[in-house]
Amino acid sequence: MKLSEKYLKAGLVLLITLSGISFSFGQSLPDFEVEDSKKTTGTIEREIQFNGYTNHWQNNYTNWYRYGNLFKIAAPDIQKTILQSKVDAADDLKIPDLLMQEGFLFELFAHLYTSLDNPTLTELENELLKGDVLVLINSTSELGKQLESKAESIFLWAEKLQSYQFGAVDYEKIKAFYLVNGNHRLFVISSDSAEKRHALLQEIESTKEILAQYKLFKGWFGASTLLKSVTCEQGHPLDLIGIGMNEGNSWFIFDGYMDFLAKDEIETWVKEVNLPVVANVGFSPVYGCENYEGLQVQDMATKQSWIDYARKKGGYTFRPVYDPESDSFDFDGYIAMEGNKDQIDNENIPFINKTGFLSGNLTSSMVLFIEKDKSLTNSSIWDAIMDRREVAVLDKAKLMGPDRFRKTLQLLYLDKQYLEEYFGDNIDIRTEMDGYDLLVTLENYYPVEVSGDLAITPPQGLQIVNGFSGSIVLKVNETKTVRIPLRVTKEAMGKTNPVAIRFSWADKNKNTVAKLDLPPAISVHQLLYGHAPKVLYPVSIHNFTKQNSFPVKVDVYQTNNLKKAVFSQTKSCNAETATHRELNFELELPAGEYAVKTSALDVEYTSQLGVGKGEGKPYLYEVDLNSDGIDEYRMENDSVQVTLLRTGARVIEYIVKSKNDNVLFKIWPEKTYNHKRPFRMRGYYPYGGFEDFLGQASMETHQLYNAKIIQKEGDFVRVEMETDYFGNHLKKTFTLYGNSPLLEVRFELDFKNPEANVIGPQPILELGQVHGTEEVFTVPTMDGLKEYRMRPEKYYGQAINVKEGWNAGYDTSEHISFVGAFPVKQPIFLHMWMNHPDNSEAPHYYVEFQPWTPIIQKSTMFFSYYIWGSGDTWENGVMELRKRNLISTR
């Protein structure tokens, strides 16, 4: 090889090598970028339309959406569905071929006009020189053709819709529209049928007469929340009132499960900030009562019992239209449903139309027609309902009710603009709270700029921070959010605070309401027990002040001497405004009965404490009882054997050793009989034991808690279990004290999801070998001790107001007793449920006693429950708890 060739080859190798190195350097990280997602296909859309017959004639306009091939969803074509609703409204008006320009009635009713019937062009022009004119014209005449040609563009939608109604052999359009020349209006009703022209004119005149005689009041009947229930649902009554007011509603009747217990609260909120609405409650089928005292919704044996209750309370009862079992009873009216339009329209029977839950989108409402000389009150609402001056409004503007009022509303709906102005739709108001700041968002749907004033009315306890100006200018289609800082005082703590919002413009105004839910400034265990010499006492403080650091003091008094503290301790708390912090105090105390006063931020709270002697030798160990690889925790002493499950953090066994009996019903570890039913985990799922209702199904039911042994031996044993539900923290601490049967369950909740309103800790009881009529359960009601027994033929329940915080059970055959104790003032009520095999979710005999306890948020909430089971009488069990200062009294 020649030298030159050798070097040439070497040079080529070097060049290739260097090229490779250079290429490698070109792959450095800064050179990489995310590929533009726009290069990939987004959502694929397809329109599906059906105008025809299946089991009934129908018009459906649907859009399909596909994404990533696997995701597919269908949604109505909004614009076409709205237009079809107009065709359906005209059909129900018995003018099926009516096409009306939006704003026709609004403009017509706002102007003085002369009417002409089929005039010549000259006659029309001469009259227009004098003022506005309403002309009824034959659409086939030269003048008719000329007028219709001017409005051709606004009715093109009808040509594209292809409604099945348009195929009728006698279909002939009748059009209502108006033409404008400066300040002059020419209103036109055009058709080749004189009969149709005059039929429409007659409906217009009837509508004018009704509007001259009555005011329209839109409302939500049977709006539902679960504010007072252990079951979870979206929406607080004030949320629904605020949303409804923004949609033009001026009255509300709530009927969610146990909503009737909120009657006084709801009425107080309305009065507190002077909301221009009427709000009341009921429980289907009973409404309109003066009050709902004594209503036991799970223990109304017959339909007649509901009717008798309503009559006694000055109320009314309603039934489904089709319910043969109700035919022999004297109900006051119907519950309207879409499929009963014929009966609701034509039978002379009052009716109601239920709105439902926020999660159902609140698409149904009612419009009442109340005489102009009468104000809106509970009385005038019921007068209108019982007199059938009412229209039910279902989704997609489907209307039901007597002809006279239904047709008025249908004609106004076809006009659109009249109702939007009447109910203030063109200004939309939304509210939310951000800490202590109120955010008000206004959106202008008018085609013109709007100037107005925003007024805020807080309740006592809240103040608007200086500097807020209420003047607002909204451009066309503009959305504007206003932030209004609020100052919180101690009077606002521990309650729901309504805040009224009012926007006024031109000669109109619109109202809505927001809420600021606040916890007590001080949150502690209202009832607590511990062993000497030290008792752990947790305190949660919500800081509503501007101080970031402040003292928290605990003073302990003997219950027989509340003037001199036997123990005091002060700690410094650091917390920013609108946040909360937890402090742990160690109370050094001998055995005795105490009152504990906690003071901070010029607020104080006194709780009840029992301290026992540090004696006894309980023990604790882990055991896998069902061989699933997850240990259970067993606590024992001379009196009882207690078994804890990590699943649901429940007490699954509480065995009284002297009787060798588990006083708690138990099905675990067996699965329930219908375990494979679709979505079975979304219903109540029976394990048994001492567990909680936290929703239904409870979010706790199948949750595996983290468990930690706090104390394994000594004068008490303790296990702590905790979990987090997507930012909602729950901790339970189980303690077995000494050689006694006393088992303590402490709860700590730090929740953020507002739909979690109530927790219901519940011992599920089955005393002795079986649950039968030999078991007697005793509750200290406000009217004295009351006994309950199972009914072998059916299940039933009671909501019980208790004088003292306990309930007891006793098996008269096997002489086994159970006593449960809790802080009496914390629950809304004590819920008793006698279960029966007819319950498909849990086909067993047992009894539950649940203190339904409101969940406070924006602080740590504490609750305690105490169990005492023995082979002795229940009276002795109550006495033992009383000795330990664990019986609280109102």
CA 806: distance to chain centroid? Answer: 30
- pLDDT tens for 90-146 read 999 999 999 999 999 999 999 999 999 999 999 999 999 999 999 999 999 999 999
- pLDDT tens for 587-637 read 999 999 999 999 999 999 999 999 999 999 999 999 999 999 999 999 999
List of residues 6+ apart from 679 with CB closer than 8 A: none
Pick the closest to residue 887 from 825, 831, 832 (CA basis): 825
pLDDT for the residue numbered 9: 53
Q: What is the CATH number of the domain that holds 503?
A: 2.60.40.10
133 shares its domain with 159: yes
Rounded-to-integer distance, Cα 186 and Cα 829, Å: 66
- pLDDT tens for 408-423 read 999 999 999 999 999 9
Beta-bridge mates of residue 369: 216
Rounded-to-integer distance, Cα 590 and Cα 572, Å: 26
C-alpha angle 858-860-865 in degrees, rounded to nearest 5 = 135
Q: What are phi and psi of 157, to 5 degrees?
A: -60, -30
Question: Could you tell me if 881 and 887 are in contact, meaning their C-beta atoms sit under 8 angstroms apart?
Answer: yes
Does residue 13 register a pLDDT over 50?
Answer: no
Give 680-731 as a DSSP string.
GGGS----BSEEEESTTTTTTTT-B-EEEEEESBSSEEEEEEEEEETTEEEE
Strands (E), 358-410: 365-371, 390-393, 399-400
- pLDDT tens for 287-305 read 999 999 999 999 998 999 9
pLDDT for the residue numbered 505: 96
- pLDDT tens for 43-85 read 999 999 999 999 999 999 999 999 999 999 999 999 999 999 9
Last residue of a domain, one of 178, 197, 212: 212
Does residue 6 register a pLDDT over 70?
Answer: no
Question: Could you tell me if 596 and 885 are in contact, meaning their C-beta atoms sit under 8 angstroms apart?
Answer: no
Q: Are strands 816-821 and 784-788 parallel, antiparallel or unpaired?
A: unpaired
Q: For a pLDDT cut of 70, what percent of the chain falls above it?
A: 97
Does residue 524 register a pLDDT over 50?
Answer: yes
Rounded-to-integer distance, Cα 382 and Cα 385, Å: 5
Rounded-to-integer distance, Cα 463 and Cα 489, Å: 8
Question: Could you tell me if 806 and 819 are in contact, meaning their C-beta atoms sit under 8 angstroms apart?
Answer: yes
Give 206-222 as a DSSP string.
HHHHHHHHEEEEEEEEE
Does residue 583 register a pLDDT over 50?
Answer: yes
Does residue 22 register a pLDDT over 80?
Answer: no
Q: Are strands 603-612 and 527-531 parallel, antiparallel or unpaired?
A: parallel
Per-residue pLDDT averaged across 193-208, rounded?
A: 96
End-to-end, the C-alpha distance of the chain in Å comes to: 113
Q: Quote the tokens at residue 385.
A: 């309902």
pLDDT band at 42 (very low <50, low <70, confident <90, very high): confident
Q: What is the CATH number of the domain that holds 409?
A: 3.20.20
- pLDDT tens for 463-480 read 999 878 899 999 999 999
pLDDT for the residue numbered 19: 47
Rounded-to-integer distance, Cα 770 and Cα 665, Å: 9
789 shares its domain with 845: yes
pLDDT band at 20 (very low <50, low <70, confident <90, very high): very low
Q: What is the CATH number of the domain that holds 596?
A: 2.60.40.2950
Residue 58 lies in a domain: yes
456 shares its domain with 349: no
Q: Quote the tokens at residue 450.
A: 């709007």
Residue 8 lies in a domain: no
Does residue 384 register a pLDDT over 80?
Answer: yes
Rounded-to-integer distance, Cα 696 and Cα 482, Å: 38
552 shares its domain with 503: no
Residue 665 lies in a domain: yes
Does residue 16 register a pLDDT over 60?
Answer: no
Per-residue pLDDT averaged across 386-396, rounded?
A: 98
Question: Could you tell me if 118 and 201 are in contact, meaning their C-beta atoms sit under 8 angstroms apart?
Answer: no
Does residue 23 register a pLDDT over 70?
Answer: no
Radius of gyration in angstroms for the set of CA atoms belonging to the chain, rounded to a whole number: 35
581 shares its domain with 630: no
pLDDT for the residue numbered 649: 98
Give 827-869 as a DSSP string.
SSEEEEEEE-TT-TTS-S-EEEEEEEEEPP-SS-EEEEEEEEE
Residue 32 lies in a domain: no
pLDDT for the residue numbered 467: 77
Last residue of a domain, one of 160, 186, 212: 212
Residue 550 lies in a domain: yes
Q: Domain limits at 310?
A: 213-422
121 shares its domain with 245: no
Does residue 318 register a pLDDT over 60?
Answer: yes
pLDDT band at 26 (very low <50, low <70, confident <90, very high): low
Does residue 661 register a pLDDT over 70?
Answer: yes
Residue with tokens 């036991």: 296
Per-residue pLDDT averaged across 216-243, rounded?
A: 98
* Alpha-carbon dihedral sign for residues 379, 385, 391, 396: positive
pTM of the model: 0.95
List of residues 6+ apart from 469 with CB closer than 8 A: none
283 shares its domain with 324: yes
329 shares its domain with 386: yes
Q: What is the mean pLDDT of the chain?
A: 95
Rounded-to-integer distance, Cα 276 and Cα 270, Å: 8
Rounded-to-integer distance, Cα 229 and Cα 773, Å: 28
Last residue of a domain, one of 475, 497, 518: 518
Residue 86 lies in a domain: no
467 shares its domain with 599: no
Pick the closest to residue 269 from 282, 254, 284 (CA basis): 254
H helices of 183-340, in order, are: 194-213, 237-246, 263-272, 303-312
Residue 2 lies in a domain: no
Per-residue pLDDT averaged across 335-346, rounded?
A: 96
Q: What is the CATH number of the domain that holds 706?
A: 2.70.98.10
The count of domains in the chain is 6
Residue 816 lies in a domain: yes
Give 78-130 as a DSSP string.
HHHHHHHHHHHHHHHTT-TTEEE-TTHHHHHHTS-EEEEES--HHHHHHHHTT
865 shares its domain with 877: yes
Q: Quote the tokens at residue 465.
A: 């921070």
- The helix (H) or strand (E) run that includes residue 19 is helix 3-25
857 shares its domain with 789: yes
Per-residue pLDDT averaged across 823-847, rounded?
A: 97
pLDDT for the residue numbered 37: 63
Q: Are strands 462-464 and 399-400 parallel, antiparallel or unpaired?
A: unpaired
55 shares its domain with 73: yes
